Amino acid sequence: MSDKPVILVTRKLPEAVEARLSRDYEPRLNPEDVLYSKDEIIERATGAQGILPCHTEHFTADVIERLPEEIKIIANFSVGFDHVDIGAAKKRGLVVTNTPDVLSNATAELTMMLMIGAARRASEGEKLVRTRSWKDWSPAFMVGVDVTGKRLGILGMGRVGQVTAKRARGFDMEIHYHDVRRLPPEMEEGAIFHETLEDMLPLCDFISIHCNATPETTGLMNAERFSLLPDGAIYVNAARGAIHDDDALIGALQSGKLWAAGIDAYNNEPNIDARFAELPNTFLMPHIGSATIETRDAMGFRALDNLDAYFKGDEPGDRVA
């Protein structure tokens, strides 16, 4: 009988990650990549010492309370950890980790795609080509707005926000940002700090969301704050859907307050508000900010590094609880 720790893996992971898991642990894999219910997670965790989940699994206080006593660590395959009740995990003594740093480039790339796709009406254009509805060309056909030289407001100037700012500078964008604290001057690289979100919003031709979902940021972008943006601004969210209020965002898109929105993160994924898909001025992606081969491998290895540290008796480098 193997003395390797048993790890419940809730989703299909990259081949290289599963190979390392199988070498060092006794993994319970999910080759069909089905989404487990809360009851199935609890049942499958019996006899395991750790769980390697994604953001698709929600570890509420009730789920954490019902987990088998043998479970000692939840090593997330994600940088966000809002799907885990951190207070309940700490109360139970569960170690919780995430995978920061490794997905900043991929998410920033996706953010730029959302920004450009929304500004240049990419969803409408692709639909015209795919449905053979493209008839001819005229000066008034498929006119969008420039990205180059515009003002970009970044809400949350952490790792992804900073890389996004760096990429946006390639388009000669003027960078503004709001966060709970100001970056050191050498890290700002000319970005303009605003102590309040309300001060920044009137200066944003584009607003890009890069903050975590917390009780303080949930619903932060509401009707009142959307109204502070310049008319014709573009909203981009590749972080967490909880940051915006759906009704407020959809209302701003319908009214023309917003020119468009590029969205990769939603409330109630994947059962998102159907109105987003019905609007012509939305450029929509299915939460794929980190979906590159290189990044997904790196995320898996980072999660395994945290497991390795824990089972060796060391402090995991990415511990959040």
Which residues are designated catalytic?
A: 240, 269, 287
CB-CB contact of 282 with 276 (8 Å): yes
Residue 111's alpha-carbon distances to 1, 58, 166, 243, in angstroms, are 48, 25, 12, 16
Neighbour count for residue 110 (Cβ, 10 Å) = 25
Q: Cα–Cα–Cα angle for 294, 73, 96, nearest 5°?
A: 70
Nearest Cα to 36, choosing from 16, 52, 14, 20?
A: 52
Q: Cα–Cα–Cα angle for 310, 311, 317, nearest 5°?
A: 20
